[in-house]
Structure 1
Amino acid sequence: MVQPNHANMLDTAHGGNVMKWMDEVGAMSAMRFSGETCITARVDRMNFERPISVGDTAYITAYVYDAGTSSVRVRIITEREDLRTREREKTTESFFVYVAIDDDGAPTTVPKLTVSTEEGERLRTEALEREADGR
């Protein structure tokens, strides 16, 4: 929930806080997929489409849509949610790249991404297309 200490002078979530929350959720997604500690390597654009007001919830979803030798690509979408009505509206979207590291901080391998459902393939294709289009 966006609290006053998360807000800017317009009483909306400060963009830096939204980015931090997205990075944390994205890293959890990358670590769950890889089974390794993952660190942020790159952020491909951060599109802030609308604000999140104080009192609303920043509802963040993330999923892995591609993986390399040691890298994991994650699509992250933030929505603002009114907890009373459960209405959601997309506010922010980005594509993050994480690198899996071992105990010494060196890159380590991640599993090959396999998609076993039609929904999973749709999400993967959509992420790859949106990333390529710069949307």
Structure 2
Amino acid sequence: MPTLLDSKVESRRLVLPAQANAIRTAHGGNVLKWMEQTGSMSAMHFCSGEVITAGFDRSRFHNPIPEGDIALIDAYVYEVGTSSMTIRVRCFHENHTTGERSLTSDAKMVSVAVDEDGQSVDVPDLSVETEAGKRLQDEALNAEN
């Protein structure tokens, strides 16, 4: 049975001029795309199969990411249904010169496991075995409120 921490995925993106808006910060649409991709990778890793995005909710933007800096995106599965997985996705501004991170965006995402014909398939149960996993699950559940 996979654990919450088994599903945790991180990715980084350099904010280039082509991904920036008129005020030279990461364009929100690009940030959402990166978050959806990272969330999908977390779900794929958790269920060891293919997934489709069923929902992307409660997306919030807190702070900008300046052009030339790094977007660090993390995602993890914190709840499962029969064929669905609920994923917390967060994006951080990572200053490449200082290493400091600050939350810029977060969202709740739902993915469904599918077979090669696009039909839903069962996902494994989720195990939360460590204090770190429990803390992340609690944070995700509290973010829903």
TM over 0.5: yes
Query: Does 1:93 pair with 2:100?
Result: no
Taking structure 2 as the reference length, what is the TM-score of the superposition?
0.89
Report the counterpart of residue 28 of structure 2 in structure 1: 15
Distance 2:100 2:142 in 1: 27
Aligned residue for 1:26, secondary structure, equals helix
Distance 1:83 1:122 in 2: 27
Which stretch of the first structure deviates more once superposed, 118-127 or 8-17? 118-127
Which aligned segments of 4 or more residues in structure 1 are displaced greater than 3 angstroms? none
Letter of the 2:57 partner, please give it. D
Report the counterpart of residue 7 of structure 2 in structure 1: none
Distance 2:79 2:32 in 1: 21
Aligned residue for 1:50, secondary structure, equals coil
Taking structure 1 as the reference length, what is the TM-score of the superposition?
0.95
Structure 2 gaps of 5+ residues are: 1-13
Distance 2:72 2:139 in 1: 20
Query: Does 1:80 pair with 2:70?
Result: no
Alignment of 1:108-127 (within 5 A): 108-127=121-140
Query: Does 1:3 pair with 2:16?
Result: yes
Q: By how many angstroms is 1:126 displaced?
A: 1.8
Distance 1:126 1:50 in 2: 19
Distance 1:130 1:16 in 2: 21
Which stretch of the first structure deviates more once superposed, 19-28 or 120-129? 120-129
Q: By how many angstroms is 1:42 displaced?
A: 0.4
Distance 1:130 1:37 in 2: 27
Aligned residue for 1:126, secondary structure, equals helix
Q: Deviations over 1:60-97 (max 9, x none)?
A: 11111001000011101100011111011110010100
Structure 1 gaps of 5+ residues are: none
| Among candidates 79, 83, 99, match of residue 66 of structure 1 | 79
Query: Does 1:41 pair with 2:41?
Result: no
Distance 2:141 2:49 in 1: 23
Aligned length: 132
Letter of the 1:71 partner, please give it. S
Aligned residue for 1:113, secondary structure, equals coil
Structure ranking higher on relative contact order (CA contacts 8 Å, 6+ apart): 2
Q: Deviations over 1:73-127 (max 9, x none)?
A: 1101100011111011110010100011001000111000011111111211221
Letter of the 1:73 partner, please give it. T
